[in-house]
Amino acid sequence: AADTPKAAEGESFSVGTDTTFAPFEFRQDGELVGIDMDLLNSIAEEEGFTVDIRSLGFDAALQALQSNQVDGVIAGMSITEERQKTFDFSDPYFESGIQMAVAENNDEISGYDDLAGKRVAVKTGTEGQTFAESIKDEYGFSVVAFAQSAQMYDDVKSGGSVAVFDDYPVLSYGIKSGNGLKTVTEKEAGSSYGFAVNKGTNPELLAAFNTGLAELKDNGEYDEIMDRYLEAGA
Ligand code: GLN
């Protein structure tokens, strides 16, 4: 509405993101696209602020935020209790959860029980890593962490690791795009994604994100963005 105060109007912010986390952020013809990018750009436009998006990698983006090298992070970042000690989160904008995937031609792993004595791949600092670490002793597997999604997936395809733990919408998008993996277990309950700022910092940016998000949900643009990346599937 025309009379809604715009908390961040005229301001400029730097926002860190992951390098590859399709369909939330990835490169298409050299350009960063995805649900997170479209949401953030539309919210910025709606609220009259500008963003400088930095494609840093997931863990690097969180570290940059913590040391105030960026003003915010949008990276399919799960709102967890642990992170809420360090960061302030926006309203949730996507419900996620962790799932395991294996190479398409792997018929030996159909559940966590089959991971005994094997290695699984995760991305550093993610909920997928936390989940894998939380069950590795029970099932007797080891965990290797990579900074980038591509390295993590390559390790599974080359057989270094027998499985990967990642967010289910990302696995599902990748599998539909023909990345050579398949899922064999149900997804685990997980957290929702939120936009983050450093705790107590940039409250006007957070407020503007929330106002803009509510506006996009009202005017149908939120659904359009989701459909653009999720209905297409690949
Ligand atoms: N949602 C997961 C997390 O916050 C993974 C995010 C990512 O890899 N970009 O830990």
pTM of the model: 0.95
Instruction: Map tokens 């995937």 to a residue.
Output: 101
pLDDT at 7: 87
Q: Separation of 89 CA from ligand 1 center, angstroms?
A: 14
0.90 surpassed by complex ipTM: yes
* Amino acid (1-letter code) at residue 47: E
pLDDT at 88: 98
Cβ-based neighbour number of residue 179 at 10 Å = 18
Q: For residue 176, what are its two tokens?
A: 């539909």
For ligand 1, atom 10, the nearest C-alpha belongs to 126
Q: Which atom of ligand 1 is nearest to the CA of 190?
A: 1
Q: Which residues line ligand 1 (CB under 6 A)?
A: 18, 21, 58, 75-78, 96, 123, 126-127, 167
Substitution site in 167, 171, 195 for ligand 1 pocket (most atoms within 8 Å of beta carbon): 167
Cβ-based neighbour number of residue 31 at 10 Å = 8
Of all helices (H) and strands (E), which one includes residue 184?
none
Domains delineated in the chain: 12-93+194-230 (3.40.190.10), 97-190 (3.40.190.10)
Please give the average per-residue pLDDT across 33-47, as a whole number. 98
d(CA 34, CA 23): 5
Q: Separation of 78 CA from ligand 1 center, angstroms?
A: 6
- DSSP lists the bridge partners of residue 94 as 193
Confidence of residue 81 (pLDDT cuts 50, 70, 90): very high
d(CA 11, CA 50): 6
Please give the average per-residue pLDDT across 171-175, as a whole number. 96
49 or 190: which carries more pLDDT confidence?
A: 49
pLDDT digits (tens, 9 = 90+) for 16-29: 999 999 999 999 99
Q: Separation of 115 CA from ligand 1 center, angstroms?
A: 23
Q: For residue 29, what are its two tokens?
A: 């013809």
Q: Separation of 218 CA from ligand 1 center, angstroms?
A: 27
Give backbone dihedrals phi and psi of 192, rounded to 5 degrees, phi first. Answer: -95, 160
d(CA 42, CA 85): 28
Q: What is the DSSP letter of 120?
A: E
Asked if 8 contacts 181 with a C-beta cutoff of 8 angstroms, the reply is no
pLDDT at 6: 87
Please give the average per-residue pLDDT across 4-14, as a whole number. 89
For ligand 1, atom 5, the nearest C-alpha belongs to 126
Closest CA to 129 of 142, 116, 117, 138: 142
Please give the average per-residue pLDDT across 68-80, as a whole number. 98
pLDDT digits (tens, 9 = 90+) for 128-161: 999 999 999 999 999 999 999 999 999 999 999 9
Sign of torsion over alpha carbons 102, 108, 112, 115 = negative
* Amino acid (1-letter code) at residue 50: T
Q: Separation of 120 CA from ligand 1 center, angstroms?
A: 17
Instruction: Map tokens 């029970």 to a residue.
Output: 138
pLDDT at 234: 43
Please give the average per-residue pLDDT across 183-207, as a whole number. 96
Strands (E), 11-93: 12-17, 26-28, 31-33, 50-55, 72-73, 87-89
d(CA 198, CA 99): 28
